[in-house]
Amino acid sequence: MNHRHPSPFDAITIEGINIRNRFVRSATWDSTATENGEVTDASVEIIENVARGGVGLIVTGYAYVSDHGKAATRQLGISHGRHVEGMRRLVKAAHDHGAKIAVQIAHAGVNLVLLGHADRIALAPSQTEAYRSPHRAMTSAEVEEIVRDFGAAAERAAEAGFDAVQLHGAHGYLMSQFLSPLTNRRTDEWGGSPERRRRFHVEVMRSVRRSVGENYPVWMKMGLRDHADDGLQLGEGLAALRALRAEGLSAVEISVGLGARSARVHRSEDEECPYFREDSGAAKRAVDIPVMLVGGIRSLAMAEDILRCGDADMISMSRPLIREPGLIGRWQRGDTAPAKCISCNKCFGFGVRGEALECGEERRLREEAGLH
């Protein structure tokens, strides 16, 4: 009997959620929220465009679970009840165009990327020379409060109607900081051994499960290792993933922990190399839950190869869908030319300046053509 490998256009069901294809719009900070973290018309439009463009699953930009965990200007919030109504608009925008949607929830810890540090002392697992910005080690009571904040945020996500919640356990934010030996130097119950460094993850999972129950999908974007010397290694990352699976984690998106920016490479003209494919394949062998792979995927052929080789179950992309929100629909209609994205990162620059997310290359081309 011939076994057909899954196609990127095959539907997939995760804990009762029927997703129309294997393509995921990975969580993307878009700088469209109000200063208080509330959804705007521009936020809704971005979700609408990507959903209309054919992607199966959308993960929102990261939403802060606590006010002191905010990482960026005009970042979505899910720290208060006032955020719920706007979040419902994002859910409707995705569902109206056939996509499913999850909200990513996060705490920045010491990683206050775009807020400045003049009048803020960031909360961190440890006081460490790894960070130059003002920060201090959290007390155990503060750690426990943030654990509860994650649970409360997940409850708001379910109230808003999201199909799932995704914990942000990558890119140097608080969950990465607790897991990494570079940034967690604690010697109490929250650090000092691999088991205690991953205790924060386990307690967050338990808090979330208490809030949303056993049947609501809880996922994680996870860095299985750091892109830094003497940082988290793959074996320890996989051990943490297994521990989370035992606590009810139902899907994982593979990325990187500390050193996210240096792990991203510019696209080569003649070679496409997904950044974390090896780690994704290791995750597939380690746990029995759907695995999503993000980073450096720019062609339908590569997406097909990843699924054929069993290195992931779903294909996540961000920057290609900033430049071409309709990319998935284009591929499905038969135009299988690679994504136009050149990984220049100019899109990130708009958010830094407080402007809504946009492809810098597309803006340049418009300006050259006299279209503004």
* Residue 3, domain member (yes or no): no
Number of domains in the chain: 1
Closest CA to 178 of 125, 140, 131, 128: 125
Does position 62 have pLDDT exceeding 90, yes or no? yes
Supply the CATH number for residue 93's domain: 3.20.20.70
Percent of the chain with pLDDT over 90: 81
* Residue 201, domain member (yes or no): yes
What average pLDDT does range 74-84 have in this prediction? 97
* Residue 157, domain member (yes or no): yes
SS3 call for 161: coil
**Residues 207-255: tens digit of each pLDDT:** 999 999 999 999 999 999 999 889 999 999 999 999 999 999 999 999 9
Question: What pLDDT does 130 receive?
Answer: 80
Total residue length of the chain: 372
- One-letter identity of residue 7: S
- One-letter identity of residue 96: D
SS3 call for 100: strand
* Residue 101, domain member (yes or no): yes
Question: What pLDDT does 79 receive?
Answer: 98
* Residue 7, domain member (yes or no): no
* Residue 6, domain member (yes or no): no
The whole-angstrom separation of Cα 358 and Cα 46 is: 10
* Element of type H or E holding 255: strand 251-255
Burial-class residue 361 by CB neighbours within 10 Å (0-12, 13-18, 19+).
middle
Question: What pLDDT does 274 receive?
Answer: 96
For the ranges 178-182, 311-315, 365-369, the lowest mean pLDDT is seen at 365-369
The whole-angstrom separation of Cα 334 and Cα 212 is: 41
Question: What pLDDT does 357 receive?
Answer: 72
SS3 call for 24: strand
Tokens standing for 337?
């030319």
* Residue 123, domain member (yes or no): yes
Q: What is the DSSP letter of 96?
A: T
Q: What is the DSSP letter of 38?
A: -
SS3 call for 342: coil
For the ranges 23-37, 190-204, 266-280, the lowest mean pLDDT is seen at 266-280
Query: What separation in angstroms does the CA of 290 have from each of 94, 166, 263?
Result: 21, 13, 23
End-to-end CA distance of the chain: 57
* Residue 5, domain member (yes or no): no
Where are the alpha helices (H) located in the chain, listed in sequence order? 41-52, 84-95, 140-160, 174-179, 194-197, 199-212, 234-246, 260-263, 277-286, 300-308, 319-323, 327-332, 346-352, 360-368
Q: What is the DSSP letter of 298?
A: -
Sequence-separated (6 or more) residues with CB below 8 Å from residue 218: 154, 164, 165, 167, 205, 208, 209, 212, 248, 249, 250
Question: What pLDDT does 269 receive?
Answer: 47
pTM for this model (two decimals): 0.94
Tokens standing for 321?
């869908």
Sequence-separated (6 or more) residues with CB below 8 Å from residue 246: none
Q: What is the DSSP letter of 81?
A: G
* Domain range for 289: 12-368
